[in-house]
Chain A
Amino acid sequence: MTYEVPVAPGESADIETSTEISGGVWPMWEVFVRARRGVSHVHIGSLHAPDSETALQNARDVYTRRGEGVSVWVVPSREVRAFEPDDAVDYVEANEKVYRMATTYEIPEEVGQM
């Protein structure tokens, strides 16, 4: 596999994933890009930057080098609130309320498109 380094005989496949860091760490930002006029901003990825101004500049350089967007938002990642995975089950259950779906109502053909 191209960029996966094979495990040499006698070496361990496990790698360390944490270590001491010296110096300050730039906070993380979520990046949203509007691809063209008329469509919503869509989450495209994240990046690190010291402040919102630099985050915007970095977002332009990292995510829109080839005209991918006409507008960019950056939002501090720590401000994003999300459902826990278990809460997502409620969404699935909501799909059981079929009476909310237009297609569950039978309309005679004679009345035409509705």
Chain B
Amino acid sequence: MSPEERFQSIVDAEDKIEPTDWMPDAYRKTLIRQIAQHAHSEVIGMQPEGNWISRAPTLHRKAILMAKVQDEAGHGLYLYSAAETLGVTRNELQELLHQGKHKYSSIFNYPTLNWADIGTVGWLVDGAAITNQVMLTRCSYGPYARGMVRICKEESFHQRQGYELLIKLCQGSDEQKALAQDALDRWWWPSLMMFGPHDTESTHTEQSMAWKIKRVSNDDLRQQFVDMTVPQADYLGLRIPDPGLRWNEARGHYDFGEIDWDEFWAVVRGDGPMNRERLAHKVDAWQEGAWVREAALAYAEKRAGRSAA
């Protein structure tokens, strides 16, 4: 059996590929790209929510938000670790992000303008992330799949705290409910965009499916998300900003309108509302922390020198 055949037979048998196994070059590259982008997304994803920590309305909400942002940092770390098993280093991946050579999910290039955005991000953005990441727990690459299991457990907290925040807000004054509606109006379409282009336009789907890196297509995941979310919006008494949204009895699914693909590609190309600010903030934070990293290393070397003497 050739290495390629052996590799594919492991994948077909629903076994996992582990770091020391032989794997096709393109499989390794696809995974590095995907895991690095995923890691970068988690790290950049701290910014829209970190924006509200100092302005959370109660101590309870502040504590929840800090725990959530800390989780996002953790998710980034799990993912960089998974990427490192493929022969790249975290420092290099980060540096490439800072140089603008790597991308992260477009969703984080939208601003969080009011407090209801924090609830909506948890409900919709983390909800969309769960839809995708549950699929990835069954991914063929062991370290990535294992990281996803940990992440999914934590994402559940993220989504539920967001939805609960919105329940409270929607039970409040008219003004509070209007905040929630405003947030949904702005986040609905970008959330649907998270699932990527239509299957017919998606260049990598077929190969990724054969390698079992990806298990469900973009359009199927998006449909799953819409079907799950509409009743949740109804419960809140909020209106989804899509005149084309209606239940289709024959399909057993909701029909929904078309995404603005011009906006979608503009944000991917770097022209979303927050692309420049997000990256500049990340680079600043990294540079401001340089002295801490260097001091910690110098201290460790000094102590190692002493114990050797």
Contacts and interface: CB of A to CB of B under 8 A. Distances in A.
A32 B293 CA distance: 24
B296 A54 contact: yes
B195 A5 contact: no
B251 interface: no
Contact of B90 (A8, A19, A48, A83): A48
A50 B218 contact: no
Contact of B92 (A14, A18, A62, A65): A18
A14 B29 contact: yes
B132 A19 contact: no
Contact of B84 (A2, A4, A28, A83): A28
Nearest to B33: A15
Interface string B96-134: 100101111110000000000000000000001101110
Contacts of A82: 20
Interface stretch (B74-82, B159-167, B173-181, B252-260): B74-82
Contact of B99 (A1, A17, A19, A50): A19
B81 to A, nearest CB: 5
A84 interface: yes
B203 interface: yes
Contacts, number: 130
A45 B70 CA distance: 17
A84 B99 CA distance: 36
A66 B258 CA distance: 41
With a 10 A CB-CB cut-off, give which of A3, A16, A45, A82 has the most chain B CB atoms.
Answer: A3
B9 interface: no
Interface string A77-89: 0000011110000
B38 A62 contact: no
B157 to A, nearest CB: 9
A61 to B, nearest CB: 8
Contact of A18 (B88, B131, B133, B147): B88
Nearest to B28: A17
Q: Could you say which interface size class chain B belongs to?
A: 35 or more
Q: Is the interface of B mostly helix, strand, loop or mixed?
A: helix
B18 to A, nearest CB: 9
Interface residues of A, number: 39
A112 interface: no
A21 interface: yes
A5 B268 contact: yes
Nearest to A7: B203
Contacts of B34: 1, 3-4
A47 B104 contact: no
A107 interface: no
A48 B77 CA distance: 9
B101 to A, nearest CB: 5
Nearest to B3: A85
A48 to B, nearest CB: 7
A26 interface: yes
A23 interface: yes
B290 interface: yes
15 contacts: A2-B129, A3-B41, A5-B104, A8-B265, A13-B203, A14-B29, A15-B102, A24-B293, A46-B81, A50-B293, A54-B296, A54-B300, A65-B67, A65-B70, A85-B20
Given A3-B129, A25-B91, A65-B71, 13 more contacts: A3-B42, A4-B37, A5-B104, A8-B265, A19-B92, A20-B95, A23-B290, A24-B294, A24-B297, A48-B90, A50-B300, A51-B303, A54-B296
Interface of A: 1-9, 11, 13-21, 23-26, 28, 45-48, 50-51, 54, 61-62, 65-66, 82-85
